[in-house]
Amino acid sequence: MALKRKTEKIPRPGRGEKDDVETPTPGPTQLSGAPGMSAERPSGSTMVDAARPSGAPAPSATNVAGPYKGRLGDLLLEKGLITSAQLDQALAEQQEHGGKLGELLVNMGALDAQVLADALAAYFGLVVVNLRRDNVDPAVITMVPEEMARQQLAIPVRLEADGLYVAVAEPSDELRAMLATATKQKVNLMIAPTSDIVWALDTNYRAIGSVGKLVQAFESVESARKKASGTSPQEAEVIGDSAPVVQVVDRILTQAMRDRASDVHIEPSEEFVRVRFRIDGALKEILQLPIAIGPGLVSRIKIMANMNIVERRRPQDGQLTINIDGQEVDVRVATVSTIMGENCVMRILDKTRSVFKLGDLGMPKDTHKTYSKLVRSPFGMVLCAGPTGSGKTTTLYATLSEVSNPTLNVMTIEDPVEYVFPSINQIQTNEQAGLNFATGLKSILRQDPDVILVGEIRDVETTRVAVQSALTGHFVISSMHATDSVSALHRFLDMGIESFLVASSVLGIVGQRLLRRICPSCKTTYTLTDDEREFYEESGGPAKTTFYYGSGCNFCSDTGYKDRIGVYELLVMTPEIKRLIVGWATQEELHNMARKQGMRTLRQEAISLVVQDITTVAEVIRSVYAL
């Protein structure tokens, strides 16, 4: 929780001047005893006596079951959770930049967030709650207003005879008193990791929770409008959108952001409008809305994206920027007319999400080493191949961050520009101005570029210009829709590019997929089905008796999966491969030659993740269909 604190430095006995900490000056909303603040606690004090503001109520016996008498850093050292060097480093960082000791240790990688929560529980004498496993009682959520819950990082969990149990990240007597006043209940504090509390807040305080009331308000407005004017539903939509429709769209986008959705689908059917989120690559139905509100939702989205709300027959593309929970988010919008009405898909691009480094994508060490050498070539072309949603753009941006330096002129042509690099010249396509990938690439060649990124090679003209650029001393990276690395080569040939030009220009192709990771909170053993066992053995999986999967928990919304990891196959253009291409070899011949020369296929790499207990055989079957 971001609070402005007046601080002063005080020396700590026993660890020298560098063991100073920030001592908060009490204020009207100051939380005493914040986690990670290893201030010296006077002998014989209770959980928060050392920092309790004057006149604050003493904590209840429930909250002070034997707090630690020393400092948090000393407790972590005693338990062997960190080393003295790590503590000194964290304290030095704290003295220079501020912050909480515990959070600094977690950010350094010296301490796990859950381990820190356990240590804080021992430090303050509280109980740790596992929000990933323990269900939050929906009946008590409304007892604490959402604004207060988010500001104080506190979520009510359950109500029992001895009071309301609330999970917090920063325990204090003042916070307990504040919650008791708001809920009119005796409050018992429990500790949970900050990340778990933020997740629980997003999960339980649903932005779409009040959509039902908004739909009722919309239907009332529409009914009154029709009676008053006699206009048809479609004419009424052109007149303007009602406030309830505006709020429904805002709540859908807010919930999508909180659920980490990459796409939002608004799909009309015969009886209702279905709203689905794509989370970790899989679609999940979130809402079913009345069919009457569908055109209004799409019209509202079109207005936000500066699209033509009257035109309903032709497909349209647009883009909008919206502020969600204090974060600026770009949303790409695409609409198309179906037999049931207008379908709308929104791609959410979180600007706050940092671009991955090339070494963080999940490539095996040898693949990463070879790929890093390829992308440092002064000329030639490297391609990322895969279907929609396979992480190609992420790989391209990671590659840019790897090769970019002040001595190179790096230019991109993208549709759209998803992430902004300060040191790179990025161009956004504009069809209305006649600026597409082909024309943009031609103009880039007159800008003295060293490295060129083409967002996607999708037509013959763009392909030909990209190949010519690679042959004339420029390094080109791009993406292409193809099932794997070998099929991407044949797509070049199918577009009419001469085989000798392909062999001369292309340095390597990365085929890739994204697989969902097993949820760490509900990871457990299971037995493979006969079909899964057969697939595993056919894929060359080594002898293995114990397999894992996610049984489903609060943390993963009962899916058994949390986050994703990339799977990569790297085809390097060796002299043997080039000769086969010039001779118009079949995909099978190219594939066999690449494997002979050491290329591991997508299927092999995916099975290796099963062996490492990172994903499941079922997920490999679902996502990696390339041989």
State the pairing for strand pair 261-268/341-350.
antiparallel
Q: How many CA atoms lie within 13 A of 118 on its CB side?
A: 8
pLDDT at 625: 65
331 plus 474 within the same structural domain: no
pLDDT at 479: 94
Structural domain including 588 reads: 358-514+565-601
Q: Residue 182 to residues 149, 164, 208: CA-CA distances in angstroms?
A: 11, 12, 24
**580: nearest Cα among 565, 599, 593:** 593
pTM: 0.74
335 plus 266 within the same structural domain: yes
173 plus 225 within the same structural domain: no
pLDDT at 92: 87
Residue 267 lies in a domain: yes
Task: Give the mean pLDDT of 466-492.
Answer: 92
How many domains, in total, are found in the chain? 3
- Residue 54: pLDDT over 70: no
pLDDT at 14: 37
336 plus 379 within the same structural domain: no
pLDDT at 229: 61
181 plus 125 within the same structural domain: yes
13 plus 69 within the same structural domain: yes
Q: pLDDT averaged over the chain?
A: 83
φ, ψ (nearest 5 deg) of residue 8: -145, 150
13 plus 46 within the same structural domain: yes
Task: Give the mean pLDDT of 165-188.
Answer: 91
Task: Give the mean pLDDT of 565-574.
Answer: 95
Decide which of 170, 202, 234 is a domain's last residue. Answer: 202
419 plus 327 within the same structural domain: no
For residue 508 the two structure tokens come to 């390597």
- Residue 411: pLDDT over 90: yes
Residue 542 lies in a domain: no
Dump pLDDT digits (tens) for 329-339: 889 999 999 99
- Residue 204: pLDDT over 90: no
Question: The domain that contains 301 carries what CATH number?
Answer: 3.30.450.90
Residue 552 lies in a domain: no
| Percentage of residues in the chain having pLDDT higher than 70 | 85
Rounded to whole angstroms, the Cα distance separating 66 from 122 reads 8
pLDDT at 39: 37
pLDDT at 241: 45
Task: Give the mean pLDDT of 67-84.
Answer: 82
Decide which of 350, 385, 406 is a domain's last residue. Answer: 350
Q: How many CA atoms lie within 13 A of 132 on its CB side?
A: 19
Q: Which of 23-27, 227-231, 242-246, 427-431 has the lowest mean pLDDT?
A: 23-27
48 plus 180 within the same structural domain: yes
371 plus 345 within the same structural domain: no
240 plus 314 within the same structural domain: yes
Residue 496 lies in a domain: yes
**457: nearest Cα among 444, 443, 476, 473:** 476
Q: Which of 164-178, 199-213, 431-445 has the lowest mean pLDDT?
A: 199-213
- Residue 10: pLDDT over 80: no
Q: For residue 231, name the pLDDT band (cuts at 50, 70, 90).
A: low
Task: Give the mean pLDDT of 396-407.
Answer: 89
**Runs of H (alpha helix) within 111-242:** 113-124, 138-141, 146-152, 173-183, 194-204, 211-229, 233-239
3-state secondary structure of 570: strand
3-state secondary structure of 301: helix
258 plus 198 within the same structural domain: no
Residue 53 lies in a domain: yes
- Residue 217: pLDDT over 90: no
| Percentage of residues in the chain having pLDDT higher than 90 | 47
Greater confidence, 30 or 321?
A: 321
Do the Cβ atoms of 518 and 611 come closer than 8 Å?
Answer: no
Residue 530 lies in a domain: no
Greater confidence, 241 or 31?
A: 241
Decide which of 154, 185, 202 is a domain's last residue. Answer: 202
Do the Cβ atoms of 345 and 334 come closer than 8 Å?
Answer: yes
3-state secondary structure of 438: helix
3-state secondary structure of 392: helix
Task: Give the mean pLDDT of 504-524.
Answer: 94
Question: The domain that contains 150 carries what CATH number?
Answer: 3.30.300.160
**257: nearest Cα among 323, 212, 204, 318:** 323
Residue 175 lies in a domain: yes
pLDDT at 392: 92
Dump pLDDT digits (tens) for 119-169: 888 888 889 998 888 888 888 998 999 889 998 889 999 999 999 999 998
Residue 607 lies in a domain: no
Task: Give the mean pLDDT of 171-186.
Answer: 91
pLDDT at 352: 63
Do the Cβ atoms of 427 and 435 come closer than 8 Å?
Answer: yes
